[in-house]
Chains A and B, each alone.
Chain A
Amino acid sequence: MELRIAHLYAHFLNIYGDRGNIVALSKRAMWRDIDVEIKAIDLKDEIDPDYWDLYFIGGGQDKQQIVIAEDLLAKAERLRDAANQKAVFLTVCGGYQLLGHYYRPHQGPELRGISLIDAYTVAGNRRMIGNVVVKRNDGSTLVGFENHSGKTFLGKDVQSLGKVVVGNGNNGEDKQEGAQAGTVYGTYLHGSLLPKNPAFTDNLIQQALARRYGDVKLRQLNDTLEEQAHKRALVLPA
């Protein structure tokens, strides 16, 4: 079995420990003897929507966001095709915002997103920084760190990842964090997100493999250290 990961704009969007997410996905697959192929997809690179199982887009500085928004629009059709084929998308912070309909800055023109997630983002007046704990519908938790001033609001066609117990989440107003539309995920959590949320990570891997291999059962791993780190993060101050 093989897991194929496309890391979009790895060269530009690589702050806030995005690398940790790629490392977690690939290690947790490799520990189960699943081969992993990772490719950095840069500006102007072609995407083969039939090939990749999982797409990752991270966060960047404002300067890069504009260039990337433009390039993403050029790739939009193929990415939509990929999503329709049930490829998994994990997008964090800036990447999450660009998967919505638009990002409206304080001044200047709106940045158009690719509308894979029914959501929009407006620039806020305060930076939301700190530890976050999210309670999911199934009772499980997600832990991470947020650092954003954009406020994201979800539309009808999408559900959040869960309710914010600690921190701000999508917009600091409606207590919701992240978004899930089918196999497309967006979140403000970094920290890095995946190493400390191993069950969530395994679920992403499973969905990504399901595209080509159907229902795959992943072998249980020894997650003592990961669970310790998760537990510790549950009690960190906001």
Chain B
Amino acid sequence: MGDTNTTNDTSNPIINQGKLSLRDRSAVFAAQAASTLIKKMGLGLGSNLPGRIARKVSPGVLGALAAQSEKGVLAVTGTNGKSTTSGILSSILRTAGFTFAHNKQGANLVTGITASLVQTASIIDGIKADYCLFEIDEAALPLVAREAHIKCVVVTNLFRDQLDRFGELDTTSKLIAKGIMQDKSHAVLNADDPNVAQMVPDVERLFYGIEQVESGAASVCQVKGEKADSTELAYCRNCQTEVVYDRIFYGQIGHWRCPACDHHRPTPQVRAFEVAAGPLSSRFKLALGDRVEDCYLPLPGLFNVYNALAAAACAYSQGVSPEAIRSGIKEYTTLFGRSEKMTVEGKPVVVQLIKNPAGATQAVASCVADSNPGILIAINDNLADGRDVSWLWDADFEQLATKLSLDADAKVTVSGQRAEDMAIRMKYAGLAADRIIVQPRLPQALRSALDNLAPGQTLWILPTYTNLLDLQKIMKTMGAPMSGT
């Protein structure tokens, strides 16, 4: 998976903030020894064991290492887009010449973050970097904040995600707010998501948002004072009235206001306008205060424009120049399974992880924007995927069924432990049963999807998390390693 990314540039000497205590150095040593041993023995024990060992030796090791970063800890959290946002942010920071320690993709709980950090640390000096950049699970944010001082927290959005894990959206929102309030971190917030924008009124805040969209967002609609037609409910923090919208981009994301009091979407300091979101990339104008930059983002979909905005806003808050922000966005290379473009047996393939209704609806919108997409959807129900597949019924697969029904030859392949659930989802979305190929085993499903691809056609693969891990292994054997392999 994603490599631990300490860009230690020797031409750019870094003054160490503080020496590590003997105990913390022992923790780093023990964890690194364990990690070497795990690799040597070929044990696939995952990335967390060294973190657990380090924390046993020195419970304060995460805080101690994080405190060594010269300019502090930047954290990215929220339901969707954490990995992509921190990926774009690292691209911007790299372009701007900063060094940083970054946790491994997916290792976004306390032990995983500790593991990533101890493995990049030197036993003598610990962390030598300008920043620590952490992608943090929503529920883990308050735990990390209790141990490490977080300078700035970026929140992407709040959607329903694996209800069997959190129970309620409110709970998630409170956890994030608690994490931010711990040290009164600077908050970089999505102005267009009412559940995020109203989250922490009492800290210093910077808002980002989309002003206006030219094209590419199927669900953009201009409405006057409508409630969101969405599974997410949003209320005014002042008077508890449900908010209404003058413009909805997707889900509950848009220009909201309270119909009862004068509370409304805050005006963002970092804004995108003239947004043209295409099937493989997007263009938009990016306003940073008074400066306007023409941006090219090598990622599809409006949701990724939000990820770029979140990263840009965080960089802007750190004083990064507009030029570096623009070029960091442009130079971004896709992450493992996040709109990842690759070539398999000479055929173009895009892999987009799906895990909840909002994200899946956006991923499907990207496929539908392609003129003639090949489709493979793989659904598992392991813990990491969410055991409950009900969410498939809350995502908009109808747009895909409608699109595929227009083409007499178009088929969809469904795979994974819950291939049959996905099959009936497509059937009830309106696709004829004889156009649905059910192949629970992923290698065979991929084989058949590739074989059925017409010349010039792109295969869009939408896997849940553990299917994505399987896909990574399969791609490797096919000589098409995915990023981070």
Contact = CB atoms under 8 A, between A and B. Distances in A.
A173 B405 CA distance: 48
B231 A222 contact: no
A34 B424 CA distance: 21
Contacts, number: 85
Contacts of A195: 393, 424-425, 428
Interface string B210-234: 0000000000000000010001010
B239 interface: no
B433 A191 contact: no
Chain B: number of interface residues, binned into ranges: 20 to 34
Interface string A172-202: 0000000000000000001110011000000
A22 to B, nearest CB: 9
A16 B163 contact: yes
Interface in A29-49: none
Contacts of A229: 420-421, 423-424
B387 A226 contact: no
A199 to B, nearest CB: 14
Given A15-B231, A15-B394, A20-B428, A228 B420 contact: yes
Nearest to A194: B428
A208 interface: no
B424 A15 contact: no
B163 A15 contact: yes
Contacts of A63: 168, 170
Contacts of B160: 15
B420 A147 contact: no
B390 A224 contact: no
B392 interface: yes
B168 A225 contact: no
Interface in B367-402: 381, 387-394
B436 interface: yes
A147 B388 contact: yes
A20 B170 contact: no
A27 B428 contact: yes
Kindly name the residue among B170, B390, B420 whose own CB sees the greatest number of chain A CB atoms within 10 A.
B390
A232 interface: yes
Interface string A190-231: 111001100000000000000000000000001011101101
Contacts of A147: 163-164, 388
Interface residues of A, number: 37
A16 B394 CA distance: 8
B390 A16 contact: yes
A17 B323 CA distance: 45
B149 interface: no
Contacts of A190: 388, 390
A131 B394 CA distance: 19
B181 interface: no
B482 to A, nearest CB: 28
Given A195-B424, A225-B424, A225-B438, A17 B390 contact: yes
B473 interface: no
A136 interface: no
Nearest to A20: B393
A130 B421 CA distance: 16
B392 A61 contact: no
B233 A191 contact: no
Ranked nearest first, the 3 interchain pairs of A and B with the lowest CB-CB distance are A17-B390, A20-B393, A17-B393
24 contacts: A12-B233, A14-B394, A15-B160, A15-B231, A16-B163, A20-B393, A20-B425, A24-B428, A61-B168, A61-B170, A62-B168, A63-B170, A145-B389, A147-B164, A147-B388, A192-B390, A195-B428, A196-B421, A224-B433, A225-B424, A225-B427, A228-B420, A231-B420, A233-B420
Given A61-B168, A145-B389, A232-B418, 15 more contacts: A15-B394, A16-B390, A20-B390, A20-B392, A27-B428, A61-B169, A61-B170, A62-B168, A147-B163, A191-B389, A225-B420, A225-B427, A225-B433, A225-B436, A229-B424
